[in-house]
Chains A and B, each alone.
Chain A
Amino acid sequence: MAESAEILQGTLELLILRTLALQPMHGLGVSDRIKQVTHGVFVVKPGSLFPALHRLEQAGAIEGRWGESENKRRAKYYRLTRAGRVRLASEKRNWERVFGAVNLLLEAEL
Chain B
Amino acid sequence: MRRVANIFRVLFQKNKLDEDLDAELQFYYAMLVDRYVGAGMEREQARRAARLEMGRIETIKENTREIRTGAGLETVMQDFRYAVRTLRKYPAFSAIAILTLALGLGVNTAIFSIVDAVLLKPLPYERPERLALVWSDFEKTAAYRAPTSATILSEIKHRSSLLEDVAAIWPTVGTFIGEEDAEQIRVGQVTTNFFTTLGARPLLGRGFVAEEEHGGRAAMILTDRLWRRRFGGDPNILGKKVPFQGADYTVVGVLAPHFRLVLPASIASDVEAFTPFPNDIYKGPRTLYFLRLVARMKPGVRAEQAQREMTEIARQIRETYSEYHAENLKLSIVSMHRDAVRDIRPALIALFAGAGFVMLICCVNVANLLLARASERRKEVALRSAIGASRTRILRQLLTEGAMICAIAGTIGLTIGWGALRGLPRLQPEALARGGEIGLNWTVLVFVAAVSIGSVLLFGLVPSIESAKWDLIATLREAGKTSRTPVRRGVRAALIVAEVTFGFILVVGAGLMMRTLEKIEQVRPGFESDRVLTFSMNIPFGRFKSDEAIYSFVREWDSAIAALPGVAAVGAASHLPLDNYPNWYSPFRPEGVSETQGAALLADYRSVTPGFFQAMGTRLIEGRFFDETDRAGARQVVIVDDLLASTIADSRSAIGKRIESEHITDRGFTPVWSEVVGVVEHVRVHSLSKKIRPEIYIPFEQSPRSPLSYAVYARVDPLTLAGPIRDLLRQRNRSVAISKVRPMEEYVEQAEAPASFTALMAGIFGGLALLLAAIGIYGVTYCTVSRRMPEMGIRMALGASAGDVKRMVLKEGLTLTALGLIFGIGGALAISRQLQDLIYGISTVDPVTYIAAILVIPAAALIGCWKPASKAAGANPVDVIRIE
Contacts and interface: CB of A to CB of B under 8 A. Distances in A.
Interface centre among A26, A58, A60 (most CB of B within 10 A): A58
Given A45-B55, A76-B20, A76-B23, A51 B64 contact: yes
A50 interface: yes
B24 A73 contact: no
A55 B71 contact: yes
A69 B68 contact: no
Interface in A13-28: 26-28
A76 B2 CA distance: 21
B32 interface: yes
Interface in B410-452: none
Contacts of B68: 54, 58
Contacts of A45: 53-55
B27 A60 contact: no
A7 to B, nearest CB: 15
B67 A55 contact: yes
Given A47-B55, A47-B59, A54 B64 contact: yes
B60 A50 contact: yes
B60 A74 contact: no
A58 B6 CA distance: 8
Given A27-B28, A28-B28, A73-B30, A51 B54 contact: no
Contact of B23 (A47, A55, A74): A74
A58 B71 contact: yes
B34 A26 contact: no
A76 B27 contact: yes
B651 interface: no
B27 A50 contact: no
A28 B36 CA distance: 14
Contacts of B67: 51, 54-55, 58
Interface string B66-98: 111001100000000000000000000000000
Residue from B28, B53, B59 having most chain A Cβ neighbours under 10 A: B28
B34 A50 contact: no
B20 A46 contact: no
Interface string A64-78: 000001010111100
A26 B27 contact: yes
B55 A76 contact: no
A27 B20 CA distance: 13
Interface in B350-381: none
Contacts of B6: 58
A50 B64 contact: yes
Interface in B25-71: 25, 27-28, 30-32, 34, 53-56, 59-60, 63-64, 66-68, 71
B2 A60 contact: yes
A109 B72 CA distance: 46
Contact of B27 (A47, A58, A59, A73): A73
Contacts, number: 62
B4 to A, nearest CB: 13
A50 B21 CA distance: 9
Given A54-B67, A58-B71, A76-B24, A46 B60 contact: yes
Contacts of B20: 76
Nearest to A29: B31
B24 A50 contact: yes
Contacts of A51: 60, 63-64, 66-67
A71 B34 CA distance: 10
Interface string A41-56: 0000111001100110
Contacts of A58: 6, 67-68, 71-72
Contact of A46 (B23, B54, B66, B72): B54
A28 B546 CA distance: 108
Contacts of B31: 28, 69, 71, 73
Contacts of B71: 55, 58-59
Output the residue of B20, B24, B67 with the most chain A CB within 10 A: B24
B19 to A, nearest CB: 11
Residue of A26, A51, A73, A76 with most chain B CB atoms under a 10 A cut-off: A51
A59 B854 CA distance: 60
A45 B28 CA distance: 11
A22 to B, nearest CB: 19
B8 to A, nearest CB: 13
A58 B17 CA distance: 12
Contact of A74 (B27, B34, B55, B56): B27
Given A46-B28, A50-B24, 19 more contacts: A28-B32, A45-B53, A45-B55, A46-B55, A46-B60, A47-B54, A47-B55, A50-B25, A50-B60, A51-B67, A54-B21, A54-B64, A58-B68, A59-B71, A69-B27, A74-B23, A75-B24, A76-B23, A76-B24
12 contacts: A27-B28, A28-B27, A46-B25, A50-B63, A54-B68, A55-B71, A58-B6, A59-B71, A71-B31, A73-B31, A76-B23, A76-B24
Which 3 pairs from chain A and chain B are nearest by CB? Answer: A51-B63, A50-B64, A75-B27
